[in-house]
Chain A
Amino acid sequence: AQSVTQPDIHITVSEGASLELRCNYSYGATPYLFWYVQSPGQGLQLLLKYFSGDTLVQGIKGFEAEFKRSQSSFNLRKPSVHWSDAAEYFCAVGAGFGNEKLTFGTGTRLTIIP
């Protein structure tokens, strides 16, 4: 069974600083990987996804993520955060067609300080 670990429960970053949120997955084959963002009391918005091909994927809102098979990681990055980026970020893994359910990490809460 697949699993996801997000080691950082809470991260605080100054506005304008760079950001990296960590995600490690466990799955025997090539996984389908996703990052979602959730504002308080809101739904989950898809930031970006990795299925295959180029290991550096670009998403919305200036986010990018890099798939590193050797490290079983899919870290999310942004060069300069904005106050509106404050939210909960979830990394998720799917096993592929026939087993499409997503398994989420426990999330990382991002706080932005002025």
Chain B
Amino acid sequence: AAGVIQSPRHLIKEKRETATLKCYPIPRHDTVYWYQQGPGQDPQFLISFYEKMQSDKGSIPDRFSAQQFSDYHSELNMSSLELGDSALYFCASSPLGQQGKYEQYFGPGTRLTVT
């Protein structure tokens, strides 16, 4: 079965640089979520999109922005990177709108290292 695809899987950036993370949801899933998991931490919700509109927002820094495109893929843009941004970034998708099912399927994550 198709899963959530995230790219790149690993990314190394220097402080103050910019990074773009991409997420391709499971086909026919209309909702995308982004989570950040720091070392030894639990995943923290950043932001979500339903039908290309932002549906909820968590503790996402102002330096980060995200959007969902017409093909439902999503991108998380991170600017002025800081050492503390080093983490595993997960994308999850859900068929929420189409089937009313409330379960999220996670991608493998993008490991971002800021040096």
A binds B: yes
Q: Do residues B42 and A97 form an inter-chain contact, with CB atoms below 8 A?
A: no
Contact with A along B54-69 (1 / 0, CB 8 A): 0110100000000000
Quick check: which of B12-20, B77-85, B101-109 contacts chain A, the rest being far away? Answer: B101-109
In Å, the complex CA distance between A97 and B33 comes to 14
Contact with B along A29-69 (1 / 0, CB 8 A): 00010101000011111100101000000000000000000
Q: Do residues B106 and A100 form an inter-chain contact, with CB atoms below 8 A?
A: no
Q: Do residues B56 and A90 form an inter-chain contact, with CB atoms below 8 A?
A: no
Q: Do residues A44 and B56 form an inter-chain contact, with CB atoms below 8 A?
A: no
Q: Do residues B42 and A43 form an inter-chain contact, with CB atoms below 8 A?
A: no
Contact of A102 among B100, B104, B108 (CB under 8 A): B104
Q: Do residues A100 and B94 form an inter-chain contact, with CB atoms below 8 A?
A: yes
Q: Do residues B103 and A106 form an inter-chain contact, with CB atoms below 8 A?
A: no
Q: Do residues B108 and A103 form an inter-chain contact, with CB atoms below 8 A?
A: no
**Chain A interface size range:** 20 to 34
Q: Do residues B56 and A100 form an inter-chain contact, with CB atoms below 8 A?
A: yes
Q: Does any Cβ of B come within 8 Å of A99's Cβ? A: yes
A106 to chain B, nearest CB (A): 5
Q: Do residues B96 and A104 form an inter-chain contact, with CB atoms below 8 A?
A: no
In Å, the complex CA distance between A103 and B35 comes to 10
Subset of 15 A-B contacts with CB under 8 Å: A41-B111, A42-B109, A43-B106, A44-B43, A44-B90, A46-B103, A99-B56, A100-B31, A100-B48, A100-B55, A100-B56, A102-B35, A105-B42, A106-B42, A107-B42
